[in-house]
Amino acid sequence: MAVPAIRITNLTKDFRLGLRGVKLRAVDNLSFEVADNHVFGLLGPNGSGKSTTMKVILGLLEPTLGQCEIFGLRSDSVEARRLVGYLPESPYFYRFLTGRELVDYYASICSVPRAERGQRVADVIELVGLTTAADRRVGTYSKGMLQRIGPAQAIVHDPRLIILDEPTAGVDPIGSEAISALIIELKRRGKTVLLCSHLLAQVEGVCDDLAILNKGHLVAAGSVGELLRRGGQSNLVVENFPAAAREEIEAVLARHGAKLRHIDEARVALDRLFLEKVGPTEKHSKDPV
Amino acid sequence: MTIDYHSWWWRQGRAGIVIFTTLLVVGNLFEPLQTKAWNPTRANQPELNFKDLGDNLGQGTLLGVFGGFRNILADFAWLRRYTFWEQRDLPNTIAMLNLATTLDPQLQVFWDDGSRQIAYDIPSWLEFERPRPTTDAEKKAFAEEYTKFNHDQAVRGLEFLDRGLQFLPNNYKLLLDKAEIYQNRLANEPGALEEAAEQYKLAAAATKQVYYPMRQSIRLLWSLGDKQHQFEAYDYLKSRYPNLPEDAPDAQKSVMWDTLQAMEQVLKIPDADRTHFPKPANYSSDPDFELLPDTKLGDS
Amino acid sequence: MISAFRQVIQIARLTFLEAVRQRFFNFLVLLALALIGSASFFRNFDFGPQELRFISDFGLGSIVFFGSILSIVATAQLFFGEIENRTALTMLAKPVRRWSFLAGKVLGVALLMLVFVGLLTVLLGAYLWWREQQLIAIYHQAFLDKTWPTDFPDAQRVQFGGLALNALLQWLKFDVLVAITMLVASFSNTNLYTVIVSFFIFLICQLQYIAHDNWTKISSPFLRTLAWLLSKCFPNFQLFAVGELLVFPAKVPVPHLAVVAAIGYGALYIVVFTTLAVGSFRSREI
């Protein structure tokens, strides 16, 4: 059986606040796994423990109880971090470096061999669509460009697991779509992606599995399809639906003990409409439409 | 009682103990290195006398002294002193002088220049402090006050230089300054010229390059007029002459040779007891040159 | 291990590049330059042959004063800048050991201080050399004209090798201060707290020599113990003043071993404080 990309077992994390050391339990007995080569969504309202969980995965925080492994390695080990690429929320990058210099810097920090570094940097910059701006200083980048250089530094050392924390925060739908495209591409290349995002439509569109946290507890986990299925109900999309056909269908359904609950007009999603009007022509999603 | 190992107190306390213990051990281990480096530094650093700093020990000075910026503070005090000196502000001028010399007592120029300001400049400020005397009585009173003030400042200048000599012992320039104060500012005091001559001798002994103090000492002793002092001047010159270099213009060996001849003539030294030093190799005579007061080479 | 040291160099390089772009650094360099340049006004005063000593005091005092401020503020700023901007998060999420990160920051600021001390010392040295040549010519002419009894005295001439050694010693002292500041920053929550505590420690280190030389003379057992502890737990910053004694001939000659001992003392304390900072930073929650 393949080693999961992330295995969290009975994770509990307490913070001590102030001199009296008042205990704040941020994560309580959390357990879940992220399968290899899956896109995993980690959801939850603010203060649910997502950031704490992510920091434990990245080895930045020590668990109070429980453990966390990355491809079977302890998450706080340097070896584990070699396998991980991370994009923080609202990232800040050194403004005086060019995009290329920035990515090259992180590549050298991650011990990418010098002989390969130049090509690797060029490849990831092309992947995120910043080739034309690569030699401009990061301080001159727009918000969208900053959001794209972020993933570039996260993947330059070819990690197996990529953790993206709110990658589309403050980004327009076109930029958001580009991030989605990148996530799909990373999965196609055999990577595992852990995505934290408040853009639920995007999560639904790209993730295979997800977990929902609330007040430090895991309240739901599983594949997107399983979690979102409404048991006992099906959707039909019909073109040219005359009233007579409706009556016949209701009668058929009644014979089979089913009932037509309601009929809605088919609507296209707002982001779909937006992209049709202003964005690229291809819609990126794990599901074909 | 159970210990909460995650509490702030335990974690910070443990870290504090580790740091403290490490530094204590390291401090003891490094003691030989510290001693090796610190002893020569300490030997060259004068003790800081907080009493002398007195009222000048305001916040800025304190911070500067504690921060280890004595020298630059002394320099600033010295420059500030010029401003007060221009304004003829006596208390602040003296205060800045004291501050500069307390913070950096190794700088000769502080004592040298300072003593001149005390002994020569400050007395002249008195006429700016007083209304111009018009009557004879006022003039007489002013003259008495001026004489006393002059005397007091000269004495203060000498005390100032004595303090400097504690830090710069046997310093030629400070000894010279003392001699000049005795000669120029206290000439009318009993014993002042003898003391000046003595200080000139000490200054001459403190330097191998400058011969002016030697000549001044001889000149002063001779000018006292009595035989005892004139013989003292002659014996002094006799002892110094053999070591005067031929090639140092300041040594004025030719003049010194002529002076010896003149002294021996005036003092009627028997021929057998005379020095009979050979003339200097580059001898050049100036019959009108008057080293000894009221005595020319042509006199006998 | 080699890759860890390479990371240290990379982080140091970037820290240095970031530091020289800080307005604070440029401001302090300009201030120090202005102070050194103001020494040219000393020609209006008659310091005699000791003018060079005066200029040197001024210049070296400026370097020490501004260098001390820069060491503390730059270290705190560069460390907390990483924390607040979360670039520390990005960095430490990579296969970077915490000790590499911290050592890289210390080395980066040390490079900054090297540039600061080196630049100002070179400029001060250049000015001293130029003025010394002028004074030598003036005094020589006066000597020939018999208006001054001697040439410019050797005892007042600048020893430029000593000036360079002094620069090295001051740089080492600043690096010890950088390492101390990094130790405070490793457990402190704010930039301001770090700066204040570090300045306080700096003052203690400047005065450590008083406790070191006098603890045996204190009668009260409590105060004697306190003085002894202060003299052992804090480095003696005054001993780096041995460098200033090399710029002009000292009253009591300075043995070479004293200079070597001071260099060793500084280097060892840099290692000790950096190691303590690493140990403290390991348990810090980012």
Which residues of chain B from 162 to 201 reach within 8 Å of chain C, CB to CB? none
Tell the residue number behind the tokens 């007061």, with chain if given: B293
- Scanning B168-250, the segments in alpha helix (DSSP H) are 172-185, 192-205, 212-223, 227-240
Average pLDDT, chain A: 86
Q: Both tokens of residue A248?
A: 């016949």
Bridge partners (DSSP) of residue A27 are A13
Answer whether residue A85 is part of any domain. yes
Mean pLDDT of B107-116: 92
If one counts every other C-beta atom within 10 angstroms of the C-beta of residue B5, the result is 8
In 3D space, the residue among A186, C153, C272, C212 whose CA is nearest the CA of residue B35 turns out to be C212
Q: Tell me: the pLDDT tens digits for B224-270?
A: 888 999 999 999 999 999 999 888 878 888 889 989 998 999 999 99
- Asked whether B218 and B233 are in contact (CB, 8 A), the reply is yes
Judge: B9–A21 Cβ closer than 8 Å, yes or no: yes
State the total domains in chain A.
1
Which residues, in sequence order, are CB contacts of A226 under 8 Å at separation 6+?
none
Separate counts of helices (H) and strands (E) for chain B: 15, 0
Residue B297 is predicted with a pLDDT of 47
Mean pLDDT of A198-212: 84
Provide the Cα torsion C42, C45, C51, C56; round to 10°.
-30
Tell the residue number behind the tokens 């080693």, with chain if given: A3
Q: CB-side exposure of A173: number of CA atoms within 13 Å?
A: 15
Q: Both tokens of residue A101?
A: 């210099």
Which residues of chain B from 4 to 33 reach within 8 Å of chain A, CB to CB? 4, 6-9
DSSP, res C241: G
Which chain A residues contact residue C89 at CB under 8 A? 60, 86, 88
What's the CA gap between A258 and A264, in Å, rounded?
A: 18
Q: Both tokens of residue A268?
A: 């296209």
Higher pLDDT, B52 or A282: B52
Residue A142 is predicted with a pLDDT of 87
The answer to whether residue B275 scores a pLDDT higher than 80 is yes
Higher pLDDT, C216 or A175: C216
Closest alpha carbon within chain B to A64 = B6
Mean pLDDT of B70-99: 88
Which chain B residues contact residue A22 at CB under 8 A? none
The answer to whether residue B47 scores a pLDDT higher than 70 is no
Mean pLDDT of A126-143: 91
Name the residue range of residue A84's domain: 6-231
* CATH number of domain containing A84: 3.40.50.300
pTM confidence score = 0.83
CA C45 to chain centre: 30
Q: Both tokens of residue B102?
A: 């307390």
Coil, strand or helix: which one is B72?
Answer: helix
Average pLDDT, chain B: 85
Residue A287 is predicted with a pLDDT of 44
- Asked whether A92 and A153 are in contact (CB, 8 A), the reply is no
Strand order in the sheet with A6-17: A22-34, A6-17, A65-70, A73-74
DSSP, res C50: G
What is the secondary structure of B218-231 as a DSSP string?
Answer: HHHHHHT-SHHHHH
Residue C2 is predicted with a pLDDT of 75
Closest alpha carbon within chain B to C51 = B109
Q: What is the largest CA-CA distance in chain A?
A: 74
Q: Tell me: the pLDDT tens digits for A35-85?
A: 999 999 998 888 889 989 999 999 999 899 999 999 999 998 999 999 999
Residue B106 is predicted with a pLDDT of 84
The answer to whether residue A19 scores a pLDDT higher than 80 is no
Q: Both tokens of residue A148?
A: 């794209």
Closest alpha carbon within chain A to B7 = A21
Q: Is A214 on the interface with B (CB under 8 A)?
A: no
E strands within A100-230? Answer: 161-165, 192-196, 209-214, 217-223
- Asked whether A87 and A169 are in contact (CB, 8 A), the reply is no
Judge: A108–C6 Cβ closer than 8 Å, yes or no: yes
- Asked whether B136 and B198 are in contact (CB, 8 A), the reply is no
Q: What is the largest CA-CA distance in chain C?
A: 76
Of B26, B37, B212, the CB nearest to C261: B37
- Asked whether C238 and B38 are in contact (CB, 8 A), the reply is yes
Q: Which chains have 3+ CB pairs within 8 A of B? A: A, C
Answer whether residue A147 is part of any domain. yes
Which residues of C touch chain A, with CB atoms under 8 Å apart?
A: 3, 6-7, 10-11, 14, 17-18, 21, 85-87, 89-97, 283, 285-286
Q: Is B66 on the interface with A (CB under 8 A)?
A: no
Residue B59 is predicted with a pLDDT of 55
CA A179 to chain C, closest CA, distance in angstroms equals 19
- Asked whether B153 and B123 are in contact (CB, 8 A), the reply is yes
What's the CA gap between A260 and A258, in Å, rounded?
A: 7
Residue B200, by phi and psi: left (phi above 0), alpha (psi -120 to 50) or beta? alpha
Residue A280 is predicted with a pLDDT of 57
Higher pLDDT, C170 or A200: C170
What is the secondary structure of C26-38 as a DSSP string?
Answer: HHHHHHHHHHHHH
What's the CA gap between B115 and B113, in Å, rounded?
A: 6
Residue B13 is predicted with a pLDDT of 84
The answer to whether residue A153 scores a pLDDT higher than 80 is yes
What's the CA gap between B288 and A177, in Å, rounded?
A: 109
Residue B300 is predicted with a pLDDT of 41
- The identity of residue C193, as a single letter, is Y
What's the CA gap between A32 and A70, in Å, rounded?
A: 12
Residue B299 is predicted with a pLDDT of 45
Q: Which residues of chain C have pLDDT under 70?
A: none
DSSP, res A168: T
CA A167 to chain C, closest CA, distance in angstroms equals 14
Judge: B250–C264 Cβ closer than 8 Å, yes or no: no
The answer to whether residue A3 scores a pLDDT higher than 60 is yes
Q: Both tokens of residue C187?
A: 């457990």
Higher pLDDT, A231 or B114: B114
Bridge partners (DSSP) of residue A43 are A212
The answer to whether residue B117 scores a pLDDT higher than 90 is yes
Q: CB-side exposure of B33: number of CA atoms within 13 Å?
A: 21
Judge: C276–B11 Cβ closer than 8 Å, yes or no: no
- Asked whether A115 and A151 are in contact (CB, 8 A), the reply is no
Pairs across A and B, CB distance < 8 A: 13
- The identity of residue A70, as a single letter, is I
Coil, strand or helix: which one is A289?
Answer: coil
Bridge partners (DSSP) of residue A286 are none
CA C54 to chain B, closest CA, distance in angstroms equals 7
Answer whether residue A83 is part of any domain. yes
The answer to whether residue A91 scores a pLDDT higher than 90 is no
Q: What are phi and psi of A15, to 5 degrees?
A: -110, 145
Mean pLDDT of B85-98: 90
Judge: A94–C18 Cβ closer than 8 Å, yes or no: yes
Coil, strand or helix: which one is A86?
Answer: strand
Bridge partners (DSSP) of residue A162 are A85, A193
Bridge partners (DSSP) of residue A41 are A195, A210
Q: Is A14 on the interface with B (CB under 8 A)?
A: yes
Judge: C6–A111 Cβ closer than 8 Å, yes or no: yes
